[in-house]
Homo-oligomer: A and B are copies of this chain.
Amino acid sequence: MHAIALRRGARAPEVIETPRPEPDTDEVLVRTLRVGVDGTDHEVIAGHHGGFPAGDDHLVLGHEAVGVVEDPNGTAFKQGDIVVPTVRRPLPDGPTEYFERGEPDMSPPEDVIERGITGGHGFMSEYFTSSTEFLLPIPDELAEWGFLVEPISIAEKAIELARASRSAFDWQPESALVLGNGSLGLLTTAMLTESFDRVYCLGRRDRPDPTIDIIEELGATYVDSRETPVSEIPGVYEPMDFIFEATGYPKHAFESIEALAPNGVAALLGVPDEWTFEVDGGALHRELVMHNKALVGSVNSGYRHFEAAIETLSGLPEWLLDDLVTGIFDSSNVEEAFANDETTIKAAVKFYDNEER
């Protein structure tokens, strides 16, 4: 079968031929429908993040997959079930404590495999196998968009952690700010408009721009970071009860403290490289304390966040998905699928069209 992989030393993905996997006991063989491309893939390709499977000269990419069960292999799944896999797997001889708790997302990342990212092949191949414990069924009508379940689950987890951090008191948030107008930022903006009165999304794009169109169509407000730096947002717009950082720009983590309203929380999701800069650490510390503010970091997502994401995806309007997904590329068309220009919001690679069956 063919697969899209990054070879050791390469700086671009390519199509390779690799054997079709055989399902082990309690594993299902899945025919891949679509796999999303995201910022993590670009970081893996650039060599900033992730790692190759031990002993292999390549890493099959892709961690945002939807597929159809080809061989249930005696499990409770049925042939034709539409399924989405989670990403983390135990290391061969690694600790399984967090998996046993049902919370592999809370494991230190160095103790797990992340399929398509670190130490294990991803889902960008015609077929993949997965243990049933890491596979969620989704409604048939979500087959086309199922590759969005994983990124939505990332937002579900971060929002859950942020809300939990405010659960000791009567938190009544109204305003939310999403930092970043990439696909995760836009999906999160859509999710937050359901529960916040006023939602803002920050980017650095000129109009006309399709991401700004989506932000405004959602009823949210576009904030241009070139005109209004994060720290000035409270003065120009309003202080924010909740901030969702999806830029990976570390100054945003610190500026968020100033942009929060009293009792607000910022969820951090970016994974920046080292960068030393000056901060007024005294003022930031004091501000966190005097206004009961919080910062929570969040990585990956667990089974229950995938379940919440399936629910969320079902409720997203069709126009949003159409506008957000700017390209579905054939698996032979690697270059275009991984293009990362201003016309791309979200791309996915198509391996198989379920309608063809």
- Residues of A near any B CB (own CB < 8 A): 101, 103, 105-109, 160-161, 163-170, 250-251, 253-254, 262-263, 268-299
Known: A164-B167, A168-B164, A169-B106. A288 touches B297 (CB 8 A): yes
Q: Which residue of B lies closest to A262 (CB)?
A: B108
Known: A276-B281, A280-B276. A268 touches B292 (CB 8 A): no
The 7 closest A-B pairs by CB, nearest first: A288-B297, A275-B282, A164-B168, A165-B165, A250-B285, A289-B297, A250-B281
CA distance in complex: A275, B168 (Å): 31
| A253 in complex: contacting residue of B103, B288, B291, CB < 8 Å | B288
Q: Which residue of B lies closest to A282 (CB)?
A: B275
Known: A254-B281, A282-B275. A299 touches B295 (CB 8 A): no
**Which residues from B are CB-within-8-Å of A250?**
281-282, 284-286
The 6 sampled A-B contact pairs (Cβ below 8 Å) are: A161-B292, A165-B296, A253-B285, A272-B282, A292-B296, A293-B297
The winner among A168, A271, A284 for most chain B CB atoms within 10 A is A168
Known: A165-B165, A278-B276, A299-B292. A101 touches B170 (CB 8 A): yes
Determine how many copies of this chain the complex contains: 2
**Which residues from B are CB-within-8-Å of A164?**
164-168
Check if A269 sits within 8 Å of B292, measured CB to CB: no
* Minimum distance in angstroms from A292 CB to a CB of chain B: 6
| A297 in complex: contacting residue of B254, B278, B290, B297, CB < 8 Å | B290
CA distance in complex: A105, B289 (Å): 11
Q: Which residue of B lies closest to A279 (CB)?
A: B279
* Minimum distance in angstroms from A262 CB to a CB of chain B: 4
The winner among A106, A278, A292 for most chain B CB atoms within 10 A is A292
* Minimum distance in angstroms from A111 CB to a CB of chain B: 9
Check if A288 sits within 8 Å of B268, measured CB to CB: yes
**Which residues from B are CB-within-8-Å of A283?**
274-275
**Which residues from B are CB-within-8-Å of A280?**
274-276
Check if B290 sits within 8 Å of A109, measured CB to CB: yes
**Which residues from B are CB-within-8-Å of A287?**
297
| A279 in complex: contacting residue of B109, B161, B277, B297, CB < 8 Å | B277
| A278 in complex: contacting residue of B109, B278, B296, CB < 8 Å | B278
CA distance in complex: A106, B165 (Å): 14
Check if A291 sits within 8 Å of B108, measured CB to CB: yes
Q: Which residue of B lies closest to A239 (CB)?
A: B108
Check if B291 sits within 8 Å of A103, measured CB to CB: no
**Which residues from B are CB-within-8-Å of A290?**
109, 271, 297, 299
CA distance in complex: A132, B251 (Å): 46
**Which residues from B are CB-within-8-Å of A107?**
262
**Which residues from B are CB-within-8-Å of A269?**
289
Check if A281 sits within 8 Å of B288, measured CB to CB: no
CA distance in complex: A281, B274 (Å): 7
Known: A106-B169, A281-B275, A284-B253. A268 touches B289 (CB 8 A): yes
CA distance in complex: A271, B286 (Å): 5
